[in-house]
A = this chain, B = another copy of it.
Amino acid sequence: MAVRLSSHPGHVHLIRKLKALGALPAAEETALLDLPVTLKEMAADQDIAADHTRPSHSGVLLNGFACRYKMLPDGARQIHSFHIAGDTPDLISLHLHTMDHGLGTLTPTTVAVIAHEVLRDLMLRHPRLGELFWRDTLVDAAIYREWMTGIGRRTAHGRIAHLFCEMYMKSRAVALANGYVFAFPATQQEIGDALGLSTVHVNRVMQDLRSEGLIATRPERRAAILDWDRLKALGTFDSTYLHMDPVRAA
């Protein structure tokens, strides 16, 4: 059932995210919100796009959480990124036609599905939007580099601290943080698969961070940062790679 993107309240997160990336003129904003999309409600642990497939559509996450991941032949999993409302995680299938990894939901999720041809036409009509989306994929790439740095060279404590800093910054940018509290529904298993750690070790390190008074986690799958400065120092977190300052970027 085709509706306009603007018909679902989740579109505000996309707009906020694009505005955090750079100037979004009114004409472009209107063109984007007028796009015909299909709303897809998904359960947790479903593939939005499976590895090795060739999608003909891309999606905007309107709510819920998703992740990008790769399964290895021995059953090990590496999670490459977490995605929250406002993200366009499979925009890349517009130019990389065969998926080289999977994209799956972590929680029940609403996705606005848009046909590739519609997106291509939009970007031809509005090159400024094309640039913003390109920029978005480049920020994703910067995040991969940062994770690579963490997995390769940071201790387990530093990696987990860094991840909490990043998820907080991303949530705040789309107004999904309430003070230092934000939704972070990943299990310890998933955090381990993201950071190259075992579940058991994630558990022990998170206990350390909690007992040190750095973070708190709630049964409702929310996280809170209790001491931003010390957490940031522990994870040697420098937000430059998130490229969230549109003023300096302009």
Contacts and interface: CB of A to CB of B under 8 A. Distances in A.
A42 to B, nearest CB: 22
Given A96-B139, A97-B249, A249-B97, A196 B72 contact: no
Interface of A: 52, 68, 70, 72-73, 76-78, 80, 92, 95-98, 100-101, 124, 127, 130-131, 134-135, 137-142, 144-149, 151-154, 195-196, 236, 240-241, 243, 248-249
A66 B140 CA distance: 22
A146 to B, nearest CB: 8
A135 B96 contact: yes
Count of this chain's copies in the oligomeric assembly = 2
Contact of A152 (B131, B196, B241, B249): B196
Given A100-B142, A153-B196, A95 B148 contact: no
A243 B96 contact: yes
A70 B236 CA distance: 12
Most chain B CB inside 10 Å of its own CB: which residue of A134, A139, A142: A134
Contacts of A149: 70, 72, 78, 80
Contact of A151 (B72, B137, B139, B151): B151
A98 B249 contact: yes
A17 to B, nearest CB: 15
B76 A240 contact: no
B236 A73 contact: yes
Contacts of A135: 95-96
B144 A145 contact: yes
Given A70-B145, A130-B130, A153-B196, 7 more contacts: A77-B153, A78-B149, A78-B152, A80-B145, A98-B249, A100-B146, A100-B240
A75 to B, nearest CB: 10
27 contacts: A70-B145, A70-B149, A72-B149, A78-B149, A78-B152, A80-B149, A92-B141, A95-B131, A95-B134, A96-B138, A98-B240, A98-B248, A100-B146, A100-B241, A100-B243, A127-B127, A137-B137, A137-B138, A137-B141, A140-B141, A141-B141, A141-B144, A144-B144, A144-B148, A151-B151, A151-B196, A153-B196
